[in-house]
Chains A and B, each alone.
Chain A
Amino acid sequence: MEKPLTHHIDSNKGPLTIAEWEAIGGYRSLRTAFQSAPKDIIKMISDSGLMGRGGAGFNTGFKMGAVPQGENAPKTKYLICNADEMEPGTFKDRWLLEGAPHQLIEGMIVAAHAISATCAYIFLRGEYKVAQRALENAVKEAYEKGYLGKNILGTDYSLEFHVHMSAGRYICGEETALINALEGRRAIPRAKPPFPQTSGLWGKPTLVQNVETLSNLSHIVNNGPAWFKSLGLANDAGTKLFGVSGKVKTPGAFELPMGTPVREIFEKYGGGMRDGLKFKAFLPGGASTDFLLESHLDLPMEYTSFAKAGTRMGTGQMIVLDDQTCPVGMILNLEKFFKQESCGFCTPCRDGLSWTARTLDAIECGKGEMRDIEILQRHARLLGPGNTFCALAPGAASPLATGLRIFADEFEEHIREKRCRYENLHR
Chain B
Amino acid sequence: MQLESNQLSQHEKEEIDKEILKFPIKQSACLEALMIVQHGRGYVSDGMLKVVAEYLEMSATELDSIATFYNLIYRKPVGKNVIRICDSVSCWIMGYDKLCAKVCSDVGANLGETSKDGLFTVLPTQCLGTCDHAPAMLVGENLHRDLTVDNVTGVLDSYRGEGQ
State A90–B141 Cα separation when bound (angstroms): 20
**B80-100: which have CB < 8 Å to A?**
84, 87-90, 92-94, 97-98
Q: Does B35 contact A (CB under 8 A)?
A: yes
Q: Does A337 contact B (CB under 8 A)?
A: yes
Q: Judging by beta carbons under 8 Å apart, are A251 and B132 in contact?
A: yes
State A91–B91 Cα separation when bound (angstroms): 12
9-residue interface stretch from A51-59, A162-170, A376-384, A390-398: A162-170
Cβ–Cβ < 8 Å partners of A184 in chain B: 23, 25, 27-31, 66
Q: Judging by beta carbons under 8 Å apart, are B127 and A88 in contact?
A: yes
With A164-B22, A247-B94, A427-B97 as known contacts, state yes or no: A91 contacts B132, CB within 8 Å.
yes
State A94–B142 Cα separation when bound (angstroms): 15
What is the size, in residues, of chain B's interface with A at 8 Å between Cβ atoms? Answer: 43
State A121–B29 Cα separation when bound (angstroms): 13
Q: Judging by beta carbons under 8 Å apart, are B127 and A245 in contact?
A: no
Cβ–Cβ < 8 Å partners of B87 in chain A: 333, 337
**A78-126: which have CB < 8 Å to B?**
85-91, 93-94, 121, 125-126
Cβ–Cβ < 8 Å partners of A128 in chain B: 129
Q: Judging by beta carbons under 8 Å apart, are A167 and B132 in contact?
A: no
What is the size, in residues, of chain A's interface with B at 8 Å between Cβ atoms? Answer: 57
Q: Does B45 contact A (CB under 8 A)?
A: no
Q: Judging by beta carbons under 8 Å apart, are B131 and A89 in contact?
A: yes
Q: Judging by beta carbons under 8 Å apart, are A86 and B127 in contact?
A: yes
Q: Judging by beta carbons under 8 Å apart, are B23 and A168 in contact?
A: no
Q: Judging by beta carbons under 8 Å apart, are A245 and B132 in contact?
A: yes
Q: Does A252 contact B (CB under 8 A)?
A: yes
Nearest-CB residue, chain A, relative to B128: A127
Nearest-CB residue, chain A, relative to B67: A167
Q: Does B158 contact A (CB under 8 A)?
A: no
With A89-B131, A243-B132, A245-B132 as known contacts, state yes or no: A168 contacts B71, CB within 8 Å.
yes
Q: Judging by beta carbons under 8 Å apart, are B131 and A245 in contact?
A: yes
Q: Does A319 contact B (CB under 8 A)?
A: yes
Q: Does B72 contact A (CB under 8 A)?
A: yes
Q: Judging by beta carbons under 8 Å apart, are B93 and A246 in contact?
A: yes
State A125–B129 Cα separation when bound (angstroms): 10
Cβ–Cβ < 8 Å partners of A164 in chain B: 22, 32
**A216-266: which have CB < 8 Å to B?**
243-247, 251-253
State A427–B134 Cα separation when bound (angstroms): 17
Nearest-CB residue, chain B, relative to A253: B132
**A172-216: which have CB < 8 Å to B?**
181-187, 202
Nearest-CB residue, chain A, relative to B101: A427
Contact of B70 among A167, A317, A319 (CB under 8 A): A167
Cβ–Cβ < 8 Å partners of A330 in chain B: 89, 92-93
CB-CB nearest 4 A-B residue pairs: A167-B70, A168-B72, A245-B131, A184-B28
